[in-house]
Amino acid sequence: MRAFKAPTNLLSQAFIVRPCLLIRRRSSSSSSSVLKICCSSFSGPSSHTFMDVFKEICKCCSRSRASVAIRNEQKSYTHAQLLHSALKISDLLCNNGKETMLEESIKESSSPSVHGIRKAGCLNGARVGIVAKPSAEFVAGLLGTWFSGGVAVPLALSYPEAELYHVMNDSDVSVLLSTEDHRELMENVAAKCAARFSLIPAIPNISVKMSEHGNSTIWNGNSAAHLGEETEDYKMAEDDDPALIIYTSGTTGKPKGVVHTHKSISAQVQMLTEAWGYTSHDQFLNCLPLHHVHGLFNALLAPLYAGSMVEFMPKFSVRGVWQRWRESYPVDGAKVDDAITVFTGVPTIYSRLLQGYEAMDPELQAMSASAARQLRLMMCGSSALPYPILKQWESVTGHRLLERYGMTEFVMALSNPLLGERKGGTVGKPLPGVEVKILAIDESEKATGEGELCVRSPSLFKEYWKRPEVTKESFIDGGFFKTGDTVKVDEDAYYIILGRTSADIMKVGGYKLSALEIEAVLLEHPDVLECCVLGLPDKIYGEAVTAIIVPDADVKRRRDQEFKPAMSLEELQEWSKDKLAPYKIPVRLYLWESLPRNAMGKVNKKELKKLLEK
């Protein structure tokens, strides 16, 4: 079945069309008509939280056996399978880990509804920690938490112990959901935090069901549809209720819990779907962690909302990504059924993919580039995309990366356009529904120029968990959130991120300099692989422009043989002379083997400064 082409200005429209359903959107329009394409059970608009929409997708798509929502490790999971597991998890959460009549009810789809057994919304806002690698189990854990009226706290497997306990204790997690592979460790963690441990049951995948049962028993249309209808028994949380706590990266201080509501999640997934044209034809390759907004919203929740398929690659692999694209678009130009169409990553991912590309032989390079060209969309964000990477990526794959700007507190706010000019070095303009202001140093507000970016958006978070004072200080009049990022606006009204005011803006002899601007220039040096610029205390100038450089491996090897450093400060300064104003040229240089990056590829400059100031 072909999808309808969605109107481009959907926020002002009442409807979105998917292959098997058409949902009336939250809109100021008073018209209440709802068109139905093939879903006869969807009876009209109510409040459309992410969960409302997901339930509708399940109800409709469960009738079509081909509705794969998640793929992972060569296994496929339908919407109905996810929903079934989510209800099962909700059952466990609401009944202290004991299974109840859910299975019975599913087997006998004509049996009376299990209404009441799961004590709808039983968790009443309790926090549920979810520790699972990106997988169908993670998704089911999240949905199951929401079906139970809980607040999901995605936790990273990579957290150092201290950070894991900080997040668990700070958010008062009372139940910890995890999978069999982490059971032993997480049972211990839960015990130490006085939380209950609950196991996310393994989710049967399509291939298992098909081979075991042929025409499948549990997943036949009737029981799947029954499942969908059964979700009606769950009184979902109200729009304004907390749904999710995401902890910030901690670039500017100790990680804070950012509370998102069902309403803010819903607003965000609608916004992204519309801005970037996500549809049910899209298949995402997601290799990002799910405890940060990029991987969770841009590459999972919004695609699920749009009816797209999400394939996880839990451990990012350069070779694996190129290979997956080549499999999607074999060299004869054909596109396979499960071809990846959308990819989103952080700048480090693209720079590593380029390194991998350079190491391929010419034949493999040609196949890889040709495959990558055929994806519909490639996006980048979470930190500044160096211009040389943008240019190189474009020359290899033909894709000008769509760069956008976001933050845990409002998810995404500024974006280059899907159609229209994507300007390198900028993050585009406000997404539909987002309003921005610039706060000058004297706290005066302006619409343009340079200063601190403030954002008001339907996707704004509700509060910092248990930090009312910090929450209050983070807003200015009119409900605009102070991002802490310094920005400027160019002649075409595109926004340029100059960086975190507290970490990237240096004050050198009376000048205010952006570390990101200097990094962008240094990265053009042919011998520089990676770099980080920061201001270290200086008695005369206030701060000294300091560059930490990771030299290109070949250059380093060659210079090592000559018993010379890969680069000297004098060489760097000489090269920079006609590219940077004199006061922007680094006066200190460190050569490192690599830069310490977190799960999102970010460098914590505050930590680095502390280290170098010692």
Ligand X SMILES: Nc1ncnc2c1ncn2[C@@H]1O[C@H](COP(=O)(O)OP(=O)(O)OP(=O)(O)O)[C@@H](O)[C@H]1O
Q: What are the b/e assignments for 359-379, b being 16+ CB within 10 Å?
A: eeeeeeeebbbbbbebbbbbb
Q: Within 310-361, where are the H helices?
A: 318-328, 347-358
Which tokens sit at 487?
């920005």
Minimum CB separation of residue 61 from ligand X in Å reads 33
Q: Answer whether 246's CB lies under 8 Å from 293's CB.
A: yes
Residue found under tokens 């209404």 = 115
User: Which one, of 10, 463, 70, 1, lies nearest residue 270 by Cα?
Assistant: 10
* Closest CB to ligand X among residues 340, 407: 407
Which tokens sit at 58?
């399940």
Q: Answer whether 509's CB lies under 8 Å from 583's CB.
A: yes
Minimum CB separation of residue 125 from ligand X in Å reads 24
Which tokens sit at 140?
């089911």
CB-facing half-sphere around the CA of 305: CA atoms within 13 A: 26
- What's the CA gap between 582 and 135, in Å, rounded? 51
Q: Answer whether 442's CB lies under 8 Å from 419's CB.
A: no
Minimum CB separation of residue 421 from ligand X in Å reads 17
Q: Within 398-504, where are the H helices?
A: 468-473
* Closest CB to ligand X among residues 204, 386: 386
Which tokens sit at 67?
């509705």
Minimum CB separation of residue 216 from ligand X in Å reads 42
Minimum CB separation of residue 302 from ligand X in Å reads 16
Which tokens sit at 575?
């090269």
* Closest CB to ligand X among residues 382, 576: 382
* Closest CB to ligand X among residues 252, 392: 252
Minimum CB separation of residue 196 from ligand X in Å reads 29
Residue type, 393: W
Neighbours of 429 (CB within 10 A): 20
Minimum CB separation of residue 605 from ligand X in Å reads 10
- What's the CA gap between 506 and 504, in Å, rounded? 6
* Closest CB to ligand X among residues 118, 292: 292
- What's the CA gap between 242 and 466, in Å, rounded? 13
- Phi and psi at 94, nearest 5°, equal -90, -10
Minimum CB separation of residue 76 from ligand X in Å reads 31
* Closest CB to ligand X among residues 93, 427: 427
The binding site for ligand X (CB under 6 A) comprises 248-252, 255, 292, 381-384, 403, 405-408, 427, 483, 485, 497, 500, 602
Instruction: Return the residue nearest ligand X (CB atom).
Output: 248
Minimum CB separation of residue 381 from ligand X in Å reads 4
Burial of 227 (C-beta count, 10 Å sphere; 0-12/13-18/19+): buried
- What's the CA gap between 137 and 75, in Å, rounded? 12
* Closest CB to ligand X among residues 279, 408: 408
Minimum CB separation of residue 290 from ligand X in Å reads 14
Minimum CB separation of residue 502 from ligand X in Å reads 8
Q: Answer whether 382's CB lies under 8 Å from 346's CB.
A: yes
Coil vs helix vs strand at 514: strand
Which tokens sit at 565?
């450093």
* Closest CB to ligand X among residues 251, 283: 251
Minimum CB separation of residue 303 from ligand X in Å reads 19
* Closest CB to ligand X among residues 231, 486: 486
* Closest CB to ligand X among residues 405, 575: 405
* Closest CB to ligand X among residues 166, 196: 166
* Closest CB to ligand X among residues 293, 309: 293
Residues 482, 487, 489, 495: is their CA dihedral positive or negative? negative
